[in-house]
C-alpha cells in the first residue's frame, strides 16, 4: 500500500518461549494500519456521511452515549445493542483523540440501493485514535460499514456486511468486552477479562524491560510501551485481524507496528497470548516482554531491508543480555546439532522464520540470529552492533552486506565463516 513499508511476520517457538514480531504488512495482517486510498470515492459520497461520522467521533471524545447511539440505525436492534456495549467498554480507556475518515463508498461489493428501508451504501472508514501519554500520532484501524439513509439522515446499520467478501472491520479490545487499564511507570496495559493482578504483573515486567532495552539500544525512542491483554488466543488473533488462531498457538506475545517510519509513527502494541504466556516461568515472561519491547524500540530503524536474523537476533540478544546462562542452554537446538557434528552452514534466511516451520527449525533460526548478534557484540562491541543494525536497514536488498563491510570490515562470506566458528566454539 502506498507509502507504507511492508514487513514480514516472524516467530520464535521453543518448548519454553515463543514470541513474534508482526510489523506492518499493513492491514492484510494487522488491524492497526490504514487501507488503500481512493480519494475519488470519498469525494463523490454525500457530504452528510462524513458529517455523521464527525458527530459520532465527537460523541466518543465527549463520552456522550446518547449522541454516539444517534449514529446507529435504531432499526438494527442487534447491532445497536453491540454498539451500546462497545461504547461502555471504552469507559476506562484514556483517549487523547478519536476521529473517523470516510475513505470510499461501495468498498466491498454491497451495491448502493433504494428499498423499503431507504438508500444504502457500503463505506470504508478509517478510525484514528490516540492513547493519552503514549501515542505520538494516531493509531489507525479500518472499518467496513453499511450506511442507510432514512429520510435524509444517514445512520450505521452494520460493521460486518463486508465479511463475505473478505473485508472485515478491524476489532479492538473494546469490541471484546469492558477494558480494564493498569498504568505502570513506563507502560500502559489494557486488558479484557484478565483481572487486575495479571495486568499489574504485565505492567511491572514491561517497566523492567524498558530500561533493559535502553541499555542495549542507543537509538532514540519513546521509552514507553502499550500492552494489550485479550482474554483468549482466539481474541488475540482477532486483534491481529487473523481468520485462524492456530498460527499463534504457543506464541507468547506479538508486537505490531509500522517499520521504517519516522519516530512519531504510531501503532506500537505488544499483544499477549494469555494461554502461552501463562505457561512461562517468571524468567521466561521477562525475556518475552524484553524481546517485544526491543522491537518497539528498534522499529524506526527496522525496514524491509533488515534481515530477520538481525531483527530477531538483536531482540533476543537484548533480552538475554547480561544473563549468566551458558550459550548452550539458550541455544539448545543448535547445541544439539553441533554435538552431532552437523553445525549450521549458513546464517538463517528470512524464510527460516516462517510460522509454517517446525518448532525445531524455528528454534534453530532464532538461536542462529541470537548467536550472530552476540558474536558482533563480543568481537566488535555493542556500539558497533547498534550501528550495524541501523546501517543494515538503510537502502535496498544489499544494504546488509554493505553495512557489514562498512561497520564490521568484513563481507558476508567472511562474516558467515566467523559465525560458523563462533557457533562451534561456544556450543561445542
User: pLDDT digit string (tens) for 201-219?
Assistant: 999 999 999 999 999 999 8
Q: What are phi and psi of 77, to 5 degrees?
A: -60, -45
CA dist., res. 213 & res. 382, Å (int): 13
Core vs surface per residue 8-34: b (16+ CB within 10 A) or e? bbbbbbbeebbbbbbbbbbbebbbbbb
Given pLDDT bands bounded at 50, 70 and 90, which one contains residue 114?
very low
For the segment 366-391, what is each residue's pLDDT rounded down to a tens digit?
999 999 999 999 999 999 999 999 99
Instruction: Cell 555493542: give the residue.
Output: 382
Distance of CA 168 to the CA centre of its chain: 18
CATH class for the region spanning 1-30+172-304: alpha beta
Residue 56: Cβ within 10 Å count: 23
Share of the chain above pLDDT 70, in %: 84
Q: What is the pLDDT of residue 396?
A: 73
For the segment 227-237, what is each residue's pLDDT rounded down to a tens digit?
999 999 999 99
CA dist., res. 155 & res. 150, Å (int): 8
Can you tell me the mean pLDDT for 293-310? 94
Q: Is the dihedral of CA 263, 393, 29, 143 positive or negative?
A: positive
User: Grid coordinates representing 376?
Assistant: 558482533
Q: What is the pLDDT of residue 168?
A: 87
Can you tell me the mean pLDDT for 286-297? 96
CATH of domain 39-169: 3.10.450.100
Q: Give me the residue spans of the domains in the chain.
A: 1-30+172-304, 39-169, 305-428
Can you tell me the mean pLDDT for 4-13? 32
Which alpha helices (H) appear in 90-140, and where do they start and end?
none
Look at residue 364 and tell me whether its pLDDT is greater than 90: yes
Q: What is the pLDDT of residue 43?
A: 58
Mean pLDDT (the chain) is 86
Contact 179, 191 (CB under 8 A): yes
Report the run of H or E that residue 155 belongs to, with start and end.
Answer: strand 153-158
For the segment 19-62, what is each residue's pLDDT rounded down to a tens digit?
443 332 222 223 333 344 444 456 567 889 999 999 999 999 99
Amino acid at each position: 500500500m502506498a507509502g507504507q513499508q511492508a514487513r514480514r511476520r516472524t516467530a520464535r517457538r521453543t518448548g519454553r518461549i515463543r514470541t513474534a514480531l508482526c510489523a506492518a504488512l499493513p492491514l492484510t495482517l494487522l488491524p492497526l494500519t490504514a487501507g488503500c486510498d481512493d480519494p475519488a470515492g470519498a469525494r463523490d459520497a454525500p457530504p452528510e456521511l462524513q458529517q455523521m461520522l464527525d458527530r459520532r467521533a465527537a460523541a466518543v471524545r465527549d463520552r456522550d452515549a446518547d449522541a454516539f447511539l444517534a449514529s446507529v440505525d435504531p432499526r438494527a436492534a442487534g447491532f445497536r445493542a453491540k454498539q451500546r456495549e462497545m461504547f461502555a467498554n471504552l469507559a476506562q480507556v484514556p483517549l487523547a483523540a478519536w476521529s473517523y475518515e470516510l475513505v470510499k463508498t461501495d468498498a466491498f461489493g454491497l451495491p448502493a440501493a433504494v428499498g423499503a428501508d431507504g438508500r444504502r451504501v457500503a463505506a470504508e472508514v478509517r478510525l484514528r485514535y490516540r492513547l493519552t501519554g503514549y501515542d505520538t500520532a494516531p493509531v489507525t484501524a479500518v472499518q467496513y460499514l453499511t450506511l442507510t439513509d432514512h429520510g435524509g439522515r444517514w445512520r450505521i446499520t452494520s460493521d460486518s456486511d463486508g465479511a463475505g467478501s473478505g473485508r472485515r472491520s478491524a476489532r479492538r479490545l473494546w469490541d471484546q468486552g469492558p477494558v480494564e487499564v493498569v498504568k505502570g511507570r513506563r507502560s500502559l496495559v489494557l486488558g479484557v477479562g484478565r483481572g487486575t493482578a495479571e495486568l499489574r504483573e504485565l505492567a511491572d515486567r514491561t517497566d523492567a524491560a524498558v530500561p533493559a532495552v535502553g541499555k542495549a539500544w542507543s537509538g532514540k525512542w519513546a521509552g514507553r510501551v502499550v500492552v494489550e491483554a485479550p482474554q483468549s488466543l482466539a481474541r488475540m488473533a482477532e486483534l491481529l485481524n487473523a481468520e485462524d488462531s492456530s498460527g499463534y498457538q504457543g506464541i507468547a506475545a506479538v508486537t505490531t507496528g509500522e517499520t521504517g517510519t519516522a519516530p512519531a509513527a504510531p501503532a506500537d502494541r505488544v499483544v499477549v497470548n494469555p494461554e502461552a504466556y501463562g505457561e512461562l516461568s517468571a524468567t521466561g515472561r521477562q525475556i518475552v516482554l524484553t524481546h517485544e519491547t526491543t522491537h518497539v524500540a528498534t522499529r524506526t530503524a527496522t525496514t524491509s531491508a533488515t534481515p530477520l536474523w538481525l531483527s530477531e537476533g538483536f531482540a533476543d540478544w537484548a533480552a538475554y543480555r547480561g544473563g549468566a546462562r551458558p550459550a548452550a542452554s539458550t541455544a539448545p537446538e543448535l547445541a544439539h546439532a553441533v554435538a552431532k557434528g552437523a553445525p549450521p552452514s549458513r546464517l538463517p534466511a528470512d524464510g527460516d522464520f516462517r510460522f509454517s516451520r517446525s518448532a525445531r527449525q524455528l528454534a534453530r533460526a532464532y538461536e542462529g540470529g541470537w548467536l550472530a548478534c552476540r558474536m558482533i557484540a563480543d568481537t566488535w562491541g555493542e556500539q558497533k552492533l547498534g550501528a550495524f543494525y541501523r546501517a543494515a536497514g538503510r537502502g535496498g536488498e544489499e544494504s546488509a552486506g554493505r553495512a557489514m563491510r562498512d561497520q564490521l570490515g568484513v563481507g558476508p562470506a567472511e562474516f558467515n565463516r566467523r559465525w560458523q566458528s563462533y557457533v562451534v566454539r561456544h556450543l561445542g
